[in-house]
Amino acid sequence: MNNKKGSALVEASLVIPIILLTIMALIGVITDLYEKTTASYQEHRREMIEEEEEEMMGEAKRMADLLKGLI
C-alpha cells in the first residue's frame, strides 16, 4: 500500500511542473498576441484619423479657394 502512495507522489511531482509550464506558456502567448493585436489596432486607427484629417483639410482648402473666387 505504501508503494502506491509513493508512486503517485513521484508521478505527480513529474506531471504537475509540466502542466504548470504549459499553462504559463499559453498565458505568455495569449498576452503577446493581445499586445500585438492592440498595437496593430491603434496604428490602424491613427492612420484612419490622419487620413480623415487630410481629407478635411483638403475640403477646407477647396472651400476657401471657392470663397476667394466669389469675393
Residue with cell 508521478: 11
pLDDT digit string, tens, across residues 4-63: 778 888 899 999 999 999 999 999 999 999 999 999 999 999 999 999 999 999 999 999
Sign of the Cα torsion 11, 12, 17, 19 reads positive
**Residue spans of alpha helices (H) in 1-71:** 2-70
User: Residue 22 is placed in which grid cell?
Assistant: 504549459
